[in-house]
Amino acid sequence: MLKSTPYADGAVTRFDLARTILGRGRYWTSAYLVDGLLIDTGCAHTAPELVSALSETVLDGIVNTHSHEDHIGANGVLQRQRAGLTIRAHPLALPILADPRNEQPLQRYRRFMWGWPAPSHGRPIADGDLVETGRYRFRVLHTPGHSPDHVCLYEPAQGWLFTGDLFIGGQDRALGSRYDIWAIIASLKRIAALPATVLFPAAARVRENPAEALTEKIAYLEGLGEKILALHERGWRVPKIVHELLGGPLPMGIEIATQGHFSRRWLVLSYLNSNQGENEKN
């Protein structure tokens, strides 16, 4: 399923993408088209729809905010169809782009929801680099935490901030098993310091003047971390902390469906440091 929405007086097009199940889109992610630059490409299941939507569009390049399968899914298809199409990503992402099946094995639920991306070939971008189009100049910001290879793009003249999966609205009650919550907080602080006018996330609504939303998110995550660490210092074990601070199971059986890969438990463990937390009993 694909929905497109124009922003910034039509200068930015957002594509919301999700696999269609029983007539409904499930677990949406977003890609953005700006002046011939495509930021992320959705998942493999939605690649045909995105390719069709871009059939009349001149693409000058692709930037992947990170290498998760729901952000690189149409890379290979677009690169095969368009000779010379350049894909850029953080150096840590490039081996995954080239060989997704071996470099980023997927749990069953990820294969079902997003599918295996086709291989693609990328060029490295690093913190501080500029990605230029005909009208815009995007500064690359390395913002690890959601993944080690995560980057954001910032267009200072327009105040546009493309944040991938770094910023998701609301108050998190769970985290993926490989995420680093302290790195996420540090990365959020970095982008919060920018004079952004519009925040374009990959899994939440577009926000104008996002400083307040970013500040609130940082405060929530830091406050939650303080509570978790305090309870742990008092000798509380992880399951008791989960119950006390994060409430009951996530909706739609997400923790069961993901086999615990995305869970309240992993959020607590990330605050405590995964090496320490692995020794905690369920």
Q: pLDDT by residue (tens digit) across 123-162?
A: 999 999 999 999 999 999 999 999 999 999 999 999 999 9
Residue 281, pLDDT score:
37
Residue 171, pLDDT score:
92
Residue 158, pLDDT score:
98
Using DSSP, state whether 154 is helix, strand or coil.
Answer: strand
Buried b (16+ CB within 10 A) or exposed e, 248-277: eebeeebbebbeebbbbbbbbbbbbeeeeb
pTM: 0.93
User: Where does 125-265 show beta strands of DSSP type E?
Assistant: 130-132, 137-142, 151-155, 160-164, 175-176, 198-201, 207-208, 262-263
CATH of domain 2-218: 3.60.15.10
Question: Which secondary structure element, helix H or strand E, spans residue 37, and what is its range?
Answer: strand 37-39
Q: At what angle do helices 181-192 and 264-272 cross, to 10 degrees?
A: 80
Residue 84, pLDDT score:
92
Among candidate residues 171, 217, 213, 221, the one with its CA nearest the CA of residue 196: 213
Domain boundaries, the chain: 2-218
Return the sign of the alpha-carbon dihedral for residues 35, 37, 39, 45: positive
In angstroms, the CA 126 to CA 88 distance is: 10
Residue 257, pLDDT score:
87
In angstroms, the CA 40 to CA 31 distance is: 5
Q: pLDDT by residue (tens digit) across 215-228?
A: 999 999 999 999 99
Do 18 and 49 form a contact (C-beta atoms < 8 A)? Answer: no
Query: Which residues in the chain come in under a pLDDT of 50?
Result: 274-282
